[in-house]
A and B are shown apart, each in its own frame.
Chain A
């Protein structure tokens, strides 16, 4: 039967309805949206949904996390590696408030998620009922959209809208709060229809040909053009289009930490990382280029440093799907509104094939300086305490750039982003905008569920690990295979570094003690090892990677080691310090 006939039949025949509960309609909707994994935690106000889930065990995998925040980060990790929408369940009250950090992280890093929270009965709203909290108003600033359902009949359409909003345009987190009566309520379910349009919502702006033409003209005339790319490339599934643009234009391209991996680390035109702890060349050259082409990035202050001294000499071409990002921090001379999957090919067509050999050589000259003065000592130190850099370097050699690297927040994060090798997109999973310590471990769990065939290595500091280490329980119970590397410097290292550099070495509450992490892992039946000698590193990494199942490797690294280069806060990117 062809589609037209099918449609005719559906229209002619009365719609088949079946009486189901709101909870069943919700689960049917999730399956229709392609959900296979849910990260969640049950509780009183979401019990009807969990009761329905009991009968859907074969279709929906539910991962019981140990804290709802862990659920949201796992949902984020899943969304980042799989390119799908992360789904999280939590109950009302404290369950819902525990989602806030993960929602804020997903909002600032544009991660598509749908969170479902249970809520007290509709007649109890506003009465301070047990575990009642105003989750809609609490989460409004940290969601792209949210909605409270008080009647089961609303569920199919609201869920469809939620998925559409979460993944379309600039993605983001959406929360649906469902009162308990709506979860229990029987209604005539007419089937699930996905949403592909909301009249008040334009996910992407219309592409304006004139701006594409102006951008191409500027790029063709440029002597020293420079590409900055962010997560927008991978969020838009536009890696191929981006690579084609880079290669035809011959323009050096540098990445934000969330953009890493959109083209391989080893690509000849990949000139490295931008920002506060980025590479020397890209930061200095930002203030030397004549045309700056920003693609799917938002000029975060950690990328730009001091704004009034940022790329003032350059004409700026800004490609973004979110019109609110254009001119927000850096004024665009040519705003190329639109989805870069559409705009990049249009632009590529209009540009002349070029190679900017001399200009690229300038970047490589900076690389050489950085390599000699800094990187070689970080990655291949001959003596002294172990560095975080050499751990990542050895890991690269074993994984050959094929692993997904999940990081937490702090010094280890900057080191991992700088030195980890990525052959593939969707491989660098980190908390960029919000800088959420505790992100790493649960995000790694989600990342593995989102990319079950890939090796997932979580690189975490001793501080951040202790914020969400209860998720070892999730690893234990789900049997997920995550390689955990704790780079232990016995300090809250990044804060200590700032205290050393900018607060006269007044180390205020940054020395942190830790439990025996290997024993902790052992009590969760997770294998582990601790090393503190350089000669044990390679073998220990191999043991971790070859181990069947999860493994925790604790590496004791130098206590007071700083991450360089660094653009000190309030300074210009060209004032980047190598030491």
Chain B
């Protein structure tokens, strides 16, 4: 693919756990009127270090500049960007459907099986199925379940593993071991006026 063509890129960003950093990273995209297609942020496997996955559709030229702008932020440790060919990724979706439809209609059971759905909760009134996969896969089951009374649907952001990520975990562990990160300090006073220091 030509480098000046738009395609999906996944950013992997290792950061400190810091209030406001999400905004600082998000505005790097919004400032340029770039839409974030998918955003996941959660603690990494190492204490104090968070990991973002951000998916956008842009040219590699733009993406490489964005990566440098993100990495420039004081509390960002490291930024990678990869094309879809370079990552293994999944999104998880939950589907809530009426239990009676599922139980009664043989066809539904077959469709669920075909789409790799797994029941998470089965109640008398509704059942929640889970599918993990690419966007097309989770999308497909929406279409399939729509005629059978789909009640609610939710899909997570993309989480992605970089194919060529030799030694990431070891490096992170070593980084944290050498110089442990700091606990995030939150506002301890909301709704606690009596604890607030006054003179």
Contact = CB atoms under 8 A, between A and B. Distances in A.
A181 B77 contact: no
Interface in B178-194: 179, 181, 185, 187-193
Interface string A180-206: 011011100000000000111100000
A124 B193 CA distance: 8
B4 interface: no
Main SS of chain B's interface residues?
loop
Interface stretch (A210-218, A320-328, A419-427): A320-328
A419 B192 CA distance: 61
B16 to A, nearest CB: 5
B68 A200 contact: no
B77 A200 contact: yes
A327 B65 contact: yes
Interface in A89-148: 121-123, 125-126, 136-137, 140-141, 144-148
A140 B20 contact: yes
Interface in A134-170: 136-137, 140-141, 144-148, 150-152, 154, 165
Contacts of A154: 185
A181 B185 contact: no
Nearest to B65: A328
B23 A123 contact: no
A137 B20 contact: yes
A148 B190 CA distance: 14
A136 B15 contact: no
A122 B72 contact: no
B185 A123 contact: no
B191 A123 contact: yes
Contacts of B23: 137, 140
Given A125-B190, A200-B75, A324-B68, A181 B196 contact: yes
B144 interface: no
Q: Among A151, A182, A328, which residue has the most Cβ atoms of chain B within 10 A? A: A151
B199 interface: yes
A181 B189 CA distance: 10
A232 to B, nearest CB: 15
Main SS of chain A's interface residues?
mixed
Interface residues on B, range: 20 to 34
A534 to B, nearest CB: 48
A283 to B, nearest CB: 26
Q: Among B76, B77, B190, which residue has the most Cβ atoms of chain A within 10 A? A: B190
A324 B74 contact: no
A154 B186 CA distance: 11
B69 A125 contact: no
B152 to A, nearest CB: 30
Interface residues of A, number: 33
Contacts of B187: 122, 125, 150
Given A121-B196, A154-B185, A184-B199, A144 B74 contact: yes
Given A141-B31, A150-B189, A200 B16 contact: yes
B179 A145 contact: no
B74 A186 contact: no
B33 to A, nearest CB: 14
Contact of B197 (A137, A184, A198): A184
A140 B27 contact: yes
A199 B191 contact: no
B24 interface: yes
Nearest to A136: B20
A403 to B, nearest CB: 36
Given A140-B24, A198-B74, A200-B16, A123 B192 contact: yes
24 contacts: A121-B189, A121-B193, A123-B189, A125-B187, A136-B20, A137-B23, A141-B27, A146-B20, A148-B20, A151-B185, A154-B185, A181-B196, A184-B198, A184-B199, A186-B197, A198-B74, A199-B179, A200-B74, A200-B75, A324-B71, A324-B72, A327-B64, A327-B65, A328-B65
Interface of A: 121-123, 125-126, 136-137, 140-141, 144-148, 150-152, 154, 165, 181-182, 184-186, 198-201, 322-324, 327-328
Given A122-B189, A122-B190, 12 more contacts: A125-B190, A137-B23, A145-B74, A150-B187, A151-B188, A184-B197, A184-B199, A186-B197, A323-B68, A324-B71, A324-B72, A327-B65
